[in-house]
Amino acid sequence: MTTHYITELEAREKQSQMRTEPYWSEGPDEAFKEMEEVVGSRWITRDKVARQAYCGRGSGHEIYWYLNVSYPPCIIVLPASTGEVADIVRICNKYNLPFVPTSSGWMIQGFPRYRSDMVTIDLQRMWEWKIDKKNMVITVGPGVRYGHHCQACIEHDLWFINTGGGSASSVIANTLSFGVSPLNYRMGNSERRALSLEWVTPEGEIVYSGSWAQCEEGFWGDGPGPNLMGMLRGFCGWFGGMGIVTRMNVKAFSFLENATEILVPEGVSPDTHLSFKDTGRIRWINFQFPDRKSLEDCTIEVSHAQLGAAWTKVPVFWRDLAKSKDKEDFWERWSGVQKEDIDNFHLLRALFVGYTSEKQMDYELKACEDIMKKYGGTERRTKPSDESWIKNADANGMWMLTSGYMSTDGGQESLRTVFETGKRLGDILYNHYDRYFLPQKGDVGWWQSNDFGHSAYLEFMQYKNVDHWDPLSPFFRPETREQGTKWYMQVVTDVDNETGFCNFFSGFQSCLLYIGPHRSDFQIWIDRFQNEFSPKGLSNPPTPYEGETLIEHFPAHWLPKVRSHIRRAKRGRSVCAGSLPERKPLRDT
């Protein structure tokens, strides 16, 4: 939180007035001693300086931190094995202590919210990376980040998706929650890349899935009985609300021989990239189209023809970001762009890889050329390098524009649904909400083709001036925070409910009870799973009803439509279907 505008004492006084719970909690001495016996004194602490470092971090923190609902944990513990994780979870159950697992700390949900009596289970010591190169299967622990994982894959002439969240995010955590990159076009969605896994339930039992359940090598994700990935991940995961996955086997994919000689890191951070030393085997190409429909129709056709390694349409302002030396340079460039420029600029970015030979890549390029002629696509000069998707060298630059960033919509549906959702969001943002964020001037967001066009991914990003959201800043604008929150938690969800788009950021910046009734009341199954596996509700509460809890901390006059729908759903009434099947009542959120 910005504090340099007022004294530290004034900041603390204002924060204390905004909080509903005591800021510090020490946790039971008995629980601390029992955990210390499990991990040793070096790997557990109640030191306040260390605990403060685990408070209010991660994507989405602007909303949570400025509402003063972020708290430090009462205990931090760093286990080294699945057995130690299970012991700690059982101790938490014994003393009714809520716990939150974290690994890379990429999401605000990896840290305590709303209460100060939570135990943080930091999994960074669980660093395991083991490869079966013949079968292209890799075992990872939760401490392994994409940066580690993707570099090691390249050194073995393999590759793996590198998430849009950046190289610092955990492979296991991201696979369970998001797992999206343009490279999903050929590699498929993350739930299919995940094979066997090891899971500590919310009550501390250790469970194995896939071929690990049969004491075999973890080459298979399925096995006798249901596939646990459907429950542990589903569409967007539990964000730590269904225990802890401590080991996972993931599928890697064949890439290029001598990949480290073809992809060479260059530059000095933060201006780094992978230089392509053999453009006969790998290259990015930008294609310009005369109109939006030509671009969309071409995407469908090249995807069905299974050409290329990735196809993606990026926001126009990313081009100015890539050219900018600093924030001021970006704003000078972007302020000269008009909505008409956005409406008339249609660029599709494609990655081609000659997996087997230059001849294979040459064939794909010629086939692509024929399709481009049909839709008026013309090739533009493109740098022979990659900054974003193979190793994510530019991820931190996402925050440069305004110092505040959060994606408001992201998920997978059909290409048709993705196109329509992006258009509607772009129009509404431009006409009603652009003044509260970095103005995107009607752009339709970032989208990409997945699974050879059988599905597609859309992400809609907002950049905010954090001073306008910070109650302690002299530049605080209450209207900006209120209307910006309405965009996040109501407007985007309304569009998704109309188009059928599924937002996998749901559950922490929008409300399941506002979404579920429009989608066959899937929240009923969420309640059933939680009542079965987490009856005490100790695994990262209030997940998955994060949005419902967040709304209770907003001023009472905010979001009346969302509040009304939530009350209706809690009474067992579906917005769409009338009465719901009988079920256990929701835990207090």
Per-residue pLDDT at 225 = 62
At residue 43, what are phi and psi to the nearest 5 degrees? -110, 25
Burial 278-317 (b: 16+ CB within 10 A, else e): ebebbbbbbbebeebebbbbbbeebbeeebbbbbbbbbbb
Per-residue pLDDT at 15 = 67
262-401+413-431+447-455: what CATH class?
alpha beta
Helix, strand, coil percent content, the chain, rounded in steps of 5: 40, 20, 40
Architecture of domain 129-254: 2-Layer Sandwich (3.30)
* pTM attached to this predicted model: 0.92
Per-residue pLDDT at 575 = 42
Per-residue pLDDT at 482 = 93
Angle between helices 358-375 and 292-304 (to 10 degrees): 140
Q: What parts of the chain have a pLDDT lower than 50?
A: 1-3, 574-589
Per-residue pLDDT at 581 = 38
Q: Is the dihedral of CA 253, 259, 263, 268 positive or negative?
A: positive
Q: What is the DSSP string of 317-359?
A: HHHHHHH-SSHHHHHHHHTT--HHHHHT--EEEEEEE-SS-HH
Which fold would CATH assign to domain 8-122? 3.30.43
User: Model confidence over 476-495: pLDDT tens digits?
Assistant: 999 999 999 999 999 999 99
Domain residue limits, the chain: 8-122, 129-254, 262-401+413-431+447-455, 512-579
